[in-house]
A and B are shown apart, each in its own frame.
Chain A
């Protein structure tokens, strides 16, 4: 198979970027999308040109490293699939394929198709955990979790933090990511003591990191490789109502050197 590629090339966050055209031949249907770029990069390196920088690691759809837009769709738009698991058999011989990085103020471009998603880590820092100093845990069977609750928690915890939800969102919102993380911990009995502070903290940090607001387009759930559903955003919203009802005003948020909350 043969393809024409239009790839976004940008040297760093501050440089101007542009699309560059490439042609690649000799691709077979069983190759993965990233293997196709590997082949192109080998060719580029031999020609003395800069290979395309992209993030990747496990290549089995679980580490969440890879991801960019293929023909306008995050991860290429196949159901429950990351770029690394996208097979070339989904493309037609001779197709033109456009590759563009995730675009968001909160995800500055590092280089070419690689972006900085550390904003997600900072959302976790504001409450995406249950505080259990090592060694202080009670006997595991002392905590009962009904199967239905455990299943909801798992469905939410399946999020791999790839950022496709933000990339696909017309509002550049990180609600699906944040809601998934929150639903995981807030559904479990272990997560209850910190529930309200977690909710307020993570939601506030999400805004501090520069993500947009959700208007329920539903684009995020369509491209999520782990099929995290929109309903978790509804759960998050209810958790915020709950936090307000419980009088929650304290939360972990980002503060400047003077201890003042950053916008």
Chain B
């Protein structure tokens, strides 16, 4: 923060960046929009993910076939796993942008009130909105674990339990480890909170929310977040209760 008169600081029309994309990214609002757009992509991914997960209830064949489909889609014109890696790259880029923007913006906000209030009440915000940063951090850690665990089988399994492309058995084996199942359920709780605020927040940031539809959009966001939560936890719960075995 600068006080103009005192430090020879003045207002001048200058080129703030060499191109408009950089100019956009340099601003707080630009980063916020990047978070919204990448958030939207990640929400889309999560919805696709949960829909795929639910195939486990149809049976081992269905989900294993789905897993093969994800790798073979586009063949023979495209290579094996080519689409998958394109999707993974996009997702990875989105996560990278989402996190980079979040870190930079959080730094700004956390420094904007060096002396905190002794007494402060809130009227509109809720736990979901208040836990975006810490929840986001937790989810990031969870995602790393999840990839190492269910995708690569590097952690969380007893030796010989994990077999590449045997999705059904890998899942059942994974959630037989009760602490891991509970950890997944907690992580999905965090995802619910993140999406509960995140979905509406994305719509608000992109200018879709207004005075009239705000309550409706918030409701829809919460419903979607809950359905995603319910869809994801149904699998570990089903394993733990023996519905899937």
Q: How far is it, in angstroms, between the C-alpha of A205 and the C-alpha of B1 when the chains are bound?
A: 9
CB-CB under 8 A from B204, the residues of chain A are: 216, 230-231, 233-234
A104 touching B112, Cβ below 8 Å? yes
Distance to closest chain B CB from A229 (angstroms): 5
- Interface SS, A side: mixed
Question: A206 interface residue, CB < 8 Å from B?
Answer: yes
Q: Please, what's the 1-or-0 string for A231-249, where 1 marks a CB less than 8 Å from any CB in chain B?
A: 1011111101101111111
B27 touching A200, Cβ below 8 Å? yes
Question: A5 interface residue, CB < 8 Å from B?
Answer: no
Q: How far is it, in angstroms, between the C-alpha of A122 and the C-alpha of B7 when the chains are bound?
A: 14
A237-B205 in contact given A119-B1, A231-B211 (Cβ < 8 Å): yes
Question: A217 interface residue, CB < 8 Å from B?
Answer: yes
Partner of A254, one of B11, B27, B113: B11
B1 touching A208, Cβ below 8 Å? yes
Residue of A100, A170, A201 most packed against chain B (CB within 10 A)? A170
Distance to closest chain B CB from A185 (angstroms): 16
B119 touching A217, Cβ below 8 Å? no
Partner of A252, one of B13, B24, B118, B207: B13
* Interface residues on chain B, number (Cβ under 8 Å): 64
CB-CB under 8 A from A253, the residues of chain B are: 11-12, 14, 16
A240 touching B30, Cβ below 8 Å? yes
CB-CB under 8 A from A90, the residues of chain B are: none
Which listed segment binds A: B58-66, B124-132, B170-178? B124-132
A172 touching B113, Cβ below 8 Å? yes
Q: Which residue of B lies closest to A166 (CB)?
A: B112
B125 touching A214, Cβ below 8 Å? no
Number of CB contacts from chain A to chain B under 8 A: 210
Question: A53 interface residue, CB < 8 Å from B?
Answer: no
CB-CB under 8 A from A231, the residues of chain B are: 204, 207, 209-211, 214
CB-CB under 8 A from B197, the residues of chain A are: 216
Which listed segment binds B: A37-45, A54-62, A68-76, A137-145? A68-76
B118 touching A247, Cβ below 8 Å? no
Q: Which residue of B lies closest to A211 (CB)?
A: B112
A203 touching B112, Cβ below 8 Å? no
Q: How far is it, in angstroms, between the C-alpha of A257 and the C-alpha of B19 when the chains are bound?
A: 24
A216 touching B200, Cβ below 8 Å? yes
Question: B86 interface residue, CB < 8 Å from A?
Answer: no
Partner of B19, one of A170, A212, A234, A249: A249
Question: A192 interface residue, CB < 8 Å from B?
Answer: no
Q: How far is it, in angstroms, between the C-alpha of A86 and the C-alpha of B117 when the chains are bound?
A: 21
B2 touching A262, Cβ below 8 Å? yes
B27 touching A212, Cβ below 8 Å? no
Distance to closest chain A CB from B131 (angstroms): 11
Question: A66 interface residue, CB < 8 Å from B?
Answer: no
Partner of B21, one of A125, A235, A244: A244
CB-CB under 8 A from A77, the residues of chain B are: 121, 123
Distance to closest chain B CB from A104 (angstroms): 6
Distance to closest chain A CB from B21 (angstroms): 7
Q: How far is it, in angstroms, between the C-alpha of A235 and the C-alpha of B204 when the chains are bound?
A: 9
CB-CB under 8 A from B44, the residues of chain A are: none
Question: B109 interface residue, CB < 8 Å from A?
Answer: yes
A204 touching B119, Cβ below 8 Å? no
A210-B1 in contact given A203-B27, A216-B129, A219-B123 (Cβ < 8 Å): yes
Interface residues of B in 70-127 (CB under 8 A from A): 105-106, 108-125
Residues of A in contact with B (beta carbons under 8 Å apart): 8, 19, 69, 71-73, 77, 98, 100, 103-106, 118-119, 122, 125-126, 168, 170-173, 175, 197, 200-201, 203-219, 221-223, 229-231, 233-238, 240-241, 243-257, 259, 261-262
Given contacts A106-B1, A203-B28, A212-B108, 11 further A-B contacts (CB under 8 A): A105-B113, A168-B122, A200-B16, A212-B110, A213-B109, A222-B123, A243-B24, A251-B14, A251-B16, A256-B8, A259-B12
